[in-house]
Structure 1
Amino acid sequence: MSPSPHPALRLPEEDRDLSPYTGYARAHWEAAADGLLDAAWRWATPGRALLDLPGRPSRSGVRSDGLEGYARTFLAAAFRVAGAGGEDPHGWLERYAAGLASGTRAPGRDDTESWPLILDHHVQGQPMVESASVALGLRLTRPWLWDRLDPAVRDRAEEWLRGALRHVPAANNWYLFPFTVAGFLESVGRGDAETARARERALELLETWYRGQGWYADGDGRAFDHYNGWALHAYPVLDAHLAGDRLAADEDRYGSRLREHLAGFAYFFGGDGAPLYFGRSMTYRFAAGTAVALGAVTGHTPLAPGVSRRLLSGSLRYFLHRGAVGEDGLLSLGWHGPHEATLQRYSGPASPYWASKAFVSLLAPADHPLWTAPEESAPGEAADRVLALPAPGLLVHSTRADGIVRLHNHGSDHVAPHQGESAAEEDPLYGRQAYSTRTGPTAPANVPDNHLCVEVAGVPSVRRRIHPLGAGHGDGWGWAASWHRPVFASGARMVPALRVESVTVARGRYELRVHRVIGAPPGSRVAQSGWATGPDEPLVSALHGLHGWTDLAERRAPQGTAFTRTAGVPRLTAAVEGTALFAALATLTATPEPAPLPTAVTRVSVDGAVLEVRWADDGSTTRVGFEPLTVEHG
């Protein structure tokens, strides 16, 4: 045995011949699943219906949290056993069968084992989420678990699951939970008009949420994040794949979208294996690779098998070697280790086990090319790359020398169409201009990183609803643009006609950040911050004003980020009134002794609403105009 990232994970020796980048093969994935399951099952109730993992309860309460422990670990066990053709050397399925019988005996009763009822999403609705994992686990393991259950247990399980079909989901990916329950019930001959309606409704909504380029919004707004892969693609593609010929047309439809998604999403992983830290539920960690795994399993992927495994194993290894597994062998609530600011109110002790979705990779048998092909470099490791994704309004920007991937956000927010904008609901996971694989956003009470704010009467604004203006890329460069209305936490919540238009141009390790502030009242100030870095990462974050900015200072973020205990944030400031143009260079790099930012540009000129800069390295020019919006480079 080689040194393990954690004593609970008895990983085999690394295989650097087959997997030169990560050393991980299929046996490592099996061992990781077994180790995580073994640690979690030490917290099972006597009847095995609930896994009451230690930690802070979620807002749904400890009973729901215990069901979450059962359901999410069941996913890992189901992928593990189904991928091995029913071989179950650790007896996982016997435990889940016993728990199913105990949990469904008297749902809703306040005792040691009974599962909570599935109710509407606003009435402690978390059990609806978990019902999908239970249903999918039962579907994957049908020959070895469901088919061997006592008929009365099967009937009780069906009745409990049907609660998901009879109650209202949240207005987003939650509609795929009753969809998944219905798919299971139909697969075991228990379908009816109720299951048909649940499936039809989910797929109808999925069509309205599809925005192109393989991207779904998570609901009716513009929330684009990792839920696109680990939920909105995962459930319909896996459902159709498991149904075989019966749903071949659906698999082609949703599989082609998954393929298109992966063409860009393959660049969302850093050279160290880390996924981009962006959006909510990041404590699900290596679940970020779910879409990559499902593409490899189903064949709906543009990636070579060795590339898919490099991305998947790189992500798994990244977390296992950075403290994601605590001393008790459990996945902690956090990122590397425990981290309170990573969490949402719905996060409970078992929430991290949605990471189990990545074990869908084990549905590829041992002789599948995903496991037999030699590992190949990830797409972002070949060269510096800038990729525009106009549909979600994102710009992906990677540098080969340090393996860092950056995401410039000009299209994803977390504001539903019916919601008003409020600075009190500022969301660092969506509202910042940029995210990366080596940094995280600062907490709301700290100075915001990667943020442009207008200060009116001393109150800084927040960026909430983002309106994309376009995105594009060329050879070695790319751009994305958006506008937003600044909102304030006190005083006037909005200033009439106040608007900020923003453009990011990325090339090499540089980010040109250009903003036009319109309608700023007298006495206002404007601030632009850069990347948040700290002593725990050997990174350089720099910010340099090119036009309009007058002062530069380093600000502290005492609560740090998911990557560092404390952080420093470079910040430019200036006075502003009416309409004004501001431009700065930013960089985040791990390259030793990078060239100073002031030497990167040799000339800056501004003519009204047009800014032009000349780059020192090759003499090329970037031109950004706002009336109309134009971005040119050459």
Structure 2
Amino acid sequence: MASSPPPTQGLVLGYTTAHPFSTIPLKDRASVQALLATVLDPLEPFFSPLKARVRCPGATAVRFDQTASEVEGLCRPLWGLACLLAGGGGPYRGTQWWIDGIRAGTDPESAEFWGYARDNDQRMVEMCPLGFALAVAPEIWEGLSARERGNVERWLGESVNEKNMPDTNWLWFRVFANLGLKKNGATFSQERLDADIEHLETFYRGDGWSNDGPQGIHQMDYYSSSFAIHFLQLLYSKLAGEEDPKYAAEFKKRAQMVALDLAHYYDEEGRAIPFGRSVGYRFAMVSFWGALAYADVELPAPLTWGMVKGIVMRHLRWWQTQHDMWSSSGTLTIGYSYPNMYMAENYNSPGSPYWACLAFICLAVPETHPFWTSEEENHWNVIPKVKALKHPGHIMSNLGGHCMLLSSGQACSYPMKGTHAKYGAFAYSSAYGYSVPPGLFTLEQYALASQLGLSDDGGDYWKTRRLSESSLTTTPDNIPVLTSHWSPFPDVHIKTYLIPPHETKTPNWHLRVHHIRAEGRDVLTADGSFAISNQRAADGRYLDAYDDDATAEAAEAAAACEGTQPRLIGNYDLATPEAWGPGREGAFAVSKGAVGIRALESKDQGGGRTATLVNADPNSNLVESRTTIPTLQGTVKKGESVWYVTGIYAKPSGEGVKREEYLSGWETLPEVPGWLREEMGQ
């Protein structure tokens, strides 16, 4: 194994201490091996005496029992360790911890026995990395006695093959439980394995895309690609290809098709677009690309292995810049760029984030593979800047300095915290992340980034788009448009149009247009832009009024070229006149780049909206813990039918972008297409 920093047993990250993860210069396979060690090493103090459980820092509860939570802590890092061992990158100094843990955890007579799975048991999820590890790392199975192997057979096979499982990507986890046993000549169920594969086929929708569940729901997030379905299809094609050549070939074919879509989710800086649930798995969002190499997939033109390598390496490098995602002990936390329980799902235990180790599938790829021997390349040199994706219902764009997706129609099929923000927002950005509500009282808590909220009680409680009927069309000038129909109240109906940026004229703007019919009640409206950091660069204090002095001398000053318009007042004195401005003039905030919003409709059409800044509650955004959201507010009276034409501006900071240029496109407004003006009756 490549050299890495000294073992981090007892690691304590102080005020200025950098996590070893951030200190590895990533350039080749050996450096990624060293990176993995910095993820695994801090777990050492948190192993139980017999090594069967890992209790990561954080005493937060989840919807399943504490033992299962600690089994997560042990099994999820196996994704990384197994990939390292499979690629011949060992030995890793802690390999025996996991062998000992598997031995004790599967032994019914052990004080640390995991317990057999019941119906819909979280233990079923952790059987997936364990099954994969058994399949690809012979030293694990060989490290067990005959009796201990029998215990593994019973725990991994007999306890799951006759149990009910959720009708989702979970079925893949049982496939890998059986596959791990099969690879070692142990007792397994070929009948169950085949039946699960056949049923998972019902999730397929076409063009390479699978839904995370059966007919009747529309949920195509990272579980459809890197977190589960495509990732595991590719691993299956590698491990079971000789016995099941039909599906192995089919899964590779689907990966070839979907790769040309998934490439649009990763920008030049390595950031992925956060969308949907479980984004706390962080760098697992890039695992699909390493799995392509592991499964020996022939890349579809125009992609090259240099481009695939670039996606993976840039992504890992970006996460190296996210210094706040670690606990003081060096373990991954629940959250995204920083610890955040507001965005967590009810199944996120302290060990849950280690699903991120899927990203290390690239370490199972031989060092002679072109994934490793190629020079890194930029895939954005060869793929379209704007592309409509039929099956997820997205319009993707890489214009104006960030990757963005416009979205309609997706919704989680079961109750989930912040589900409207994770699936129902209009736009998701690689630069700005989405925001979730830390509370449910007033706009500050709802944090309506890239959402339209409506209130019928004067602004205390707000409803947004969650369920909608959507369609994806193309205009006569070949511009994709997303349309959705939704009803926040039974007697309030909205038709929303989402139009991507214009590549040459207004690359920093996208349009969202709402036709609102308030048939049965008065409603207040709040239309939010992206959320942006609400901190001054020099001292971290909240943004002041925008200073537009862009002279060379002033640009060196702390307050130059940052701030808000109108002035950001705060949460409790919004009646202050200077906190508001005309909707046509809009509102913007400038810190790490600029975001803004303007009302482009006439006063007669939209009733005269006003512009302000919503000082979002802290920790509502995934990427920035303190944010503000430029917002347009209005009123629609009972019986009225109005048109809102909203322009959303975004120009992130980045290499080569000067601070005085953040608002360079603010005065160049996007045009409302002629076909839409006709529909609006103009």
| Same-fold status (TM-score > 0.5) | yes
Deviation string, structure 1 residues 476-496 (Cα, Å, up to 9, x no partner) = 95432222221xxxxxxx324
1:352-431 alignment runs, 5 A limit: 352-379=353-380, 385-399=385-399, 402=401, 404-415=402-413, 426-431=419-424
Match of 2:145 in 1: 150
Distance 1:409 1:56, change over 3 A: farther
Match of 1:269 in 2: 266
Match of 2:125 in 1: 129
Match of 2:222 in 1: 226
How much is the aligned-residue C-alpha RMSD, in angstroms? 2.8
Cα distance between partner residues in 2 of 1:570 and 1:10: 33
Cα distance between partner residues in 1 of 2:260 and 2:665: 34
Structure with more of its chain in strand, by fraction: 1
Match of 2:316 in 1: 316
Q: How far apart are 1:180 and its partner, in Å?
A: 1.3
Tell me if 1:278 matches 2:253: no
Aligned with residue 140 of structure 1, among 133, 136, 140: 136
Match of 1:566 in 2: 626
Match of 1:611 in 2: 676
Cα distance between partner residues in 1 of 2:180 and 2:463: 48
Tell me if 1:454 matches 2:454: yes
Cα distance between partner residues in 1 of 2:242 and 2:180: 16
Q: TM-score, normalised by structure 1?
A: 0.85
Match of 1:329 in 2: 330
Tell me if 1:553 matches 2:612: yes
Please say if residues 481 and 504 of structure 1, whose CA atoms lie closer than 8 Å, have aligned partners that are also in contact: no
Q: How far apart are 1:91 and its partner, in Å?
A: 4.0
Cα distance between partner residues in 2 of 1:460 and 1:94: 53
Aligned with residue 646 of structure 2, among 571, 580, 584: 584
1:28 alignment partner AA: S
Please say if residues 55 and 70 of structure 2, whose CA atoms lie closer than 8 Å, have aligned partners that are also in contact: yes
Q: How far apart are 1:471 and its partner, in Å?
A: 4.2
Q: How far apart are 1:475 and its partner, in Å?
A: 8.7
Cα distance between partner residues in 1 of 2:425 and 2:170: 26
1:266 alignment partner AA: A
1:572 alignment partner AA: L
Deviation string, structure 1 residues 331-364 (Cα, Å, up to 9, x no partner) = 2222123122231121111111101111111111
Please say if residues 9 and 35 of structure 1, whose CA atoms lie closer than 8 Å, have aligned partners that are also in contact: yes
Q: How far apart are 1:255 and its partner, in Å?
A: 1.1
Tell me if 1:89 matches 2:91: yes
Q: How far apart are 1:427 and its partner, in Å?
A: 3.3
1:298 alignment partner AA: A
Please say if residues 529 and 629 of structure 2, whose CA atoms lie closer than 8 Å, have aligned partners that are also in contact: yes
Cα distance between partner residues in 1 of 2:202 and 2:377: 36
Cα distance between partner residues in 2 of 1:308 and 1:6: 28
1:131-530 alignment runs, 5 A limit: 131-142=127-138, 144-162=139-157, 163-190=159-186, 195-220=189-214, 221-229=217-225, 230-300=227-297, 301-302=299-300, 303-323=303-323, 324-379=325-380, 385-399=385-399, 402=401, 404-415=402-413, 426-444=419-437, 445=439, 446=445, 447-458=447-458, 459-472=461-474, 477-486=479-488, 494-496=489-491, 498-507=493-502, 508-530=507-529
Structure 2: state its 5+ residue gaps.
7-16, 440-444, 536-590
Deviation string, structure 1 residues 461-486 (Cα, Å, up to 9, x no partner) = 22111322114489995432222221
Cα distance between partner residues in 1 of 2:475 and 2:82: 42
Deviation string, structure 1 residues 413-443 (Cα, Å, up to 9, x no partner) = 1135xx8xx9x97532112111111222223
Deviation string, structure 1 residues 278-319 (Cα, Å, up to 9, x no partner) = 111111101001111111222333331111111111111111
Cα distance between partner residues in 1 of 2:280 and 2:108: 32
Match of 1:46 in 2: 49
Match of 2:71 in 1: 67
Cα distance between partner residues in 2 of 1:511 and 1:588: 9
Cα distance between partner residues in 2 of 1:238 and 1:605: 46
Match of 1:619 in 2: none
Please say if residues 555 and 568 of structure 1, whose CA atoms lie closer than 8 Å, have aligned partners that are also in contact: yes
94-103 vs 366-375, greater mean Cα deviation: 94-103
Deviation string, structure 1 residues 502-559 (Cα, Å, up to 9, x no partner) = 3333322210111222353353333321111123561211111111442111111022
Distance 1:11 1:294, change over 3 A: same
Cα distance between partner residues in 1 of 2:409 and 2:360: 30
Q: TM-score, normalised by structure 2?
A: 0.79
Please say if residues 50 and 100 of structure 2, whose CA atoms lie closer than 8 Å, have aligned partners that are also in contact: yes
SS in 1 for 2:241: helix
Q: How far apart are 1:449 and its partner, in Å?
A: 1.1
SS in 1 for 2:199: helix
Cα distance between partner residues in 1 of 2:386 and 2:201: 29
Q: How far apart are 1:81 and its partner, in Å?
A: 0.8
Aligned with residue 541 of structure 1, among 563, 570, 595: 595
Please say if residues 517 and 579 of structure 1, whose CA atoms lie closer than 8 Å, have aligned partners that are also in contact: yes
Cα distance between partner residues in 2 of 1:509 and 1:70: 45
Deviation string, structure 1 residues 18-61 (Cα, Å, up to 9, x no partner) = xxxxx521112100112211211231112111112111333123
2:378 alignment partner AA: S
Identity %: 23
Distance 1:259 1:6, change over 3 A: farther
Aligned with residue 664 of structure 2, among 578, 582, 595: 595
Match of 1:617 in 2: none
SS in 1 for 2:337: coil
Match of 1:34 in 2: 37
Distance 1:476 1:355, change over 3 A: farther
2:490 alignment partner AA: V
Cα distance between partner residues in 2 of 1:355 and 1:35: 13
Cα distance between partner residues in 1 of 2:254 and 2:21: 35
Match of 1:116 in 2: 115
Distance 1:427 1:330, change over 3 A: same
2:85 alignment partner AA: V
Q: How far apart are 1:152 and its partner, in Å?
A: 0.7
Q: How far apart are 1:265 and its partner, in Å?
A: 0.7
1:153 alignment partner AA: E
Distance 1:476 1:283, change over 3 A: farther
251-260 vs 208-217, greater mean Cα deviation: 208-217
92-101 vs 67-76, greater mean Cα deviation: 92-101
SS in 2 for 1:565: coil
242-251 vs 592-601, greater mean Cα deviation: 592-601
Deviation string, structure 1 residues 154-193 (Cα, Å, up to 9, x no partner) = 110011112222222222111111111122222233455x
Q: How far apart are 1:498 and its partner, in Å?
A: 2.8
Cα distance between partner residues in 2 of 1:219 and 1:605: 37
Please say if residues 534 and 628 of structure 2, whose CA atoms lie closer than 8 Å, have aligned partners that are also in contact: no
Cα distance between partner residues in 2 of 1:201 and 1:462: 40
Structure 1: state its 5+ residue gaps.
15-22, 487-493, 613-622, 628-634
Please say if residues 491 and 521 of structure 2, whose CA atoms lie closer than 8 Å, have aligned partners that are also in contact: no
Cα distance between partner residues in 2 of 1:573 and 1:98: 60
SS in 2 for 1:541: strand
SS in 2 for 1:181: helix
Cα distance between partner residues in 2 of 1:509 and 1:433: 16
Cα distance between partner residues in 2 of 1:562 and 1:552: 24
